[in-house]
Amino acid sequence: MWRRRGRRPPPVQRLSQWRGLGPLQPLDFLNAAAASGREWLGRTSPRPAVGAVVVRDGQIIGQSATAPGTGPHAEAQALEQAGALARGADLYTTLEPCRHHGQTPPCTEAIVAAGIGRCFYAYPDPNPAATGGAHELAAAGVETARVAGCDAAFDGLKGYLHHTRTGRPWVIAKWAMSLDGRVALPAGQRGYLSSPQSLSLVHRRRAEVDAIVVGSGTVLADDPRLTVRAGIAVNRQPLRVVLDGRARLPADAAMLGMPGKTICFVGAAAPPERCAALVESGCFVQIQDDPPRADPNAVLQRLGAMGVQSALLEGGPTTIGSFLAAQLINEIEVFLCPVLVGDPASPVALRGLPEGFLSPGLELLESGTVGPDLWLRARPRGSIDWDGETQPERTGA
């Protein structure tokens, strides 16, 4: 709109340009907004799990998150809570307010109508259909600034931001291992290495993502259900994805009887009768013109095209190793369990890495104990190449 008129839009200021604000106050309110959005992470997809708060005289007078389905956005709900007190107040939101007509009216219209004086947001929206809300607010007289450095906001939006920019889901690799580096109990023993508390955290992670990815070896060894349990309420089960080049997934696998969908990536040379049996059992079969082992990049591109914004990689050592070697893992969660397996036949944490492979260094994000287990959350350095300051071209790579 501004370029067609030959004018530049009003500038969207950075926080350093504001006066009268303590350096931590905006981040405090953005963290509160991010906490609201995080509660709904995984249930609003494909819409981002945005959180928003309305602040007047240093007090939160409205706080909400984007509703699941086609419900109202976070900003609209927070403004409704604040009511008439929103006039002249500040709005803090984890994502730049939208300006387009979609399933709900534009948030920018609601913000202007409510009389908000200042709007702070953590991340610009990379969606071409939605971006530009900050400039629209500035043009309407609402002072607007981006507050950089809100890690909590990124955690709630990372799947949406990454998928919108790259076309691929944000991939979180998860595994548990013993002190001697084994990821399974000795042959013949069934059970879990990790504690019940760690298993509950894994179910929370499942509830937050769009898909769970495993290899056929994991299915044949454990026959997992790959569902969200542990008493966590969800409005849908994540998509179950099996990388199964030879179509070895049993037609009576436990996951095929669970709520939700299962998709199996098989190679072009997979036996047709096996593929037919899987389809008969309710599995969606995706045939790839690749070698027997599924290509991680092709799988992620296909999942991204299906609208999958985030995926939890729960595969075994070979599957995780192949994604790591392809540098397609964005985040890692490891549970180090205080046990010694001792069986040399038990698999180690990672396999299939090329000789001489050295992954990028890891940035430790969080660490602590979950029950008796040590828990680490890390991110490969360089896995985030966007700070929200620029809008790189979306690529198919």
Q: What is the pLDDT of residues 41-99, one digit of tens each?
A: 999 999 999 999 999 999 999 999 999 888 899 999 999 999 999 999 999 999 999 99
pLDDT score of 389 more than 80:
no
With both helix axes pointing from N to C terminus, report the angle between 25-38 and 74-82 in degrees, rounded to the nearest 10: 110
Contacts of 125 (CB under 8 A, 6+ apart): 95, 96, 98, 131, 133
Q: Determine how many CB atoms are found less than 10 A away from the CB of residue 301.
A: 17
Give domain status of residue 191, yes or no: yes
pLDDT of 380: 84
Give domain status of residue 315, yes or no: yes
Give domain status of residue 115, yes or no: yes
Give domain status of residue 341, yes or no: yes
Domain boundary among 107, 141, 159: 159
pLDDT digit string, tens, across residues 269-307? 899 999 999 999 999 999 887 665 778 999 999 999 999
Concatenated DSSP letters for 39-99?
Answer: TTTTTSTTS---EEEEEETTEEEEEEEPPSTT---HHHHHHHHHGGGGTT-EEEEEEPPP-
Helices (H), the chain: 25-38, 74-82, 107-114, 133-139, 151-166, 196-208, 216-222, 272-280, 296-305, 317-325
Strand arrangement of the beta sheet that strand 118-123 belongs to: 13-14, 143-146, 118-123, 90-95, 51-56, 59-65
Residues 179 and 325 in one domain: yes
Dist CA 219 CA 255 (whole Å): 9
With both helix axes pointing from N to C terminus, report the angle between 74-82 and 107-114 in degrees, rounded to the nearest 10: 20
pLDDT digit string, tens, across residues 323-346? 988 889 999 999 999 998 877 767
Average pLDDT, the chain: 87
pLDDT of 19: 43
Dist CA 224 CA 222 (whole Å): 5
User: What is the CATH number for 112?
Assistant: 3.40.140.10
Give domain status of residue 391, yes or no: no
Residues 373 and 275 in one domain: yes
Instruction: Decide if 51 contacts 156 (C-beta within 8 A).
Output: yes
pLDDT score of 107 more than 80:
yes
DSSP state of 354: P
Residues 252 and 367 in one domain: yes
User: What is the CATH number for 224?
Assistant: 3.40.430.10
Domain boundary among 99, 126, 159: 159
pLDDT digit string, tens, across residues 299-313? 999 999 999 999 999
Domain boundary among 143, 159, 175: 159
Percent residues over pLDDT 90 in the chain: 67
Higher pLDDT, 26 or 185: 26
Residues 142 and 210 in one domain: no
pLDDT digit string, tens, across residues 146-174? 999 899 999 999 999 999 999 999 999 99
Dist CA 329 CA 211 (whole Å): 14
Residue that is written with structure tokens 């699941």 in the block:
68
pLDDT band for position 20 (cuts 50, 70, 90): very low
Question: Per DSSP, which regions of 182-257 are E strands?
Answer: 211-215, 239-243
Give domain status of residue 2, yes or no: no
Residues 220 and 344 in one domain: yes
Percent residues over pLDDT 70 in the chain: 86
Half-sphere exposure of 155 (CA within 13 A, CB side): 20
Residues 199 and 52 in one domain: no
**Strand, coil or helix: 386:** coil
Using left for φ > 0, alpha for ψ between -120 and 50, and beta otherwise, residue 127 falls in: beta
pLDDT score of 252 more than 90:
yes
Residues 269 and 349 in one domain: yes
Q: Which domain holds residue 205?
A: 167-380
Dist CA 66 CA 93 (whole Å): 11
Pairing of strands 118-123, 143-146: parallel
Give domain status of residue 387, yes or no: no
pLDDT band for position 186 (cuts 50, 70, 90): confident
pLDDT digit string, tens, across residues 197-234? 999 999 999 999 999 999 999 999 899 999 999 999 89
Helices (H), 209-314: 216-222, 272-280, 296-305
**Strand, coil or helix: 185:** coil
Residues 254 and 348 in one domain: yes
- The kind and range of the H/E element at 266 are strand 262-267
Write out the catalytic residue numbers.
Answer: 75
Residues 227 and 264 in one domain: yes
Residues 101 and 212 in one domain: no
How many domains does the structure of the chain reveal? 2
**Strand, coil or helix: 346:** coil
pLDDT of 129: 84
Q: Which letter, b or e, does each residue of 159-196 get, where b requires 16 or more Cβ atoms within 10 Å of its Cβ?
A: bbbbbbbbbbbbbbbbbbbbeeebbbbeeeeeeebbbe
Strand arrangement of the beta sheet that strand 310-313 belongs to: 284-288, 262-267, 239-243, 211-215, 310-313, 170-178, 331-337, 373-380, 362-370
Contacts of 34 (CB under 8 A, 6+ apart): 51, 94, 122, 150, 152, 153, 155, 156
pLDDT of 392: 36
Residue that is written with structure tokens 């037609």 in the block:
251
| Mean pLDDT confidence for 99-128 | 92
Residues 184 and 75 in one domain: no
Residues 136 and 258 in one domain: no
Give domain status of residue 3, yes or no: no
pTM assigned to the model: 0.88
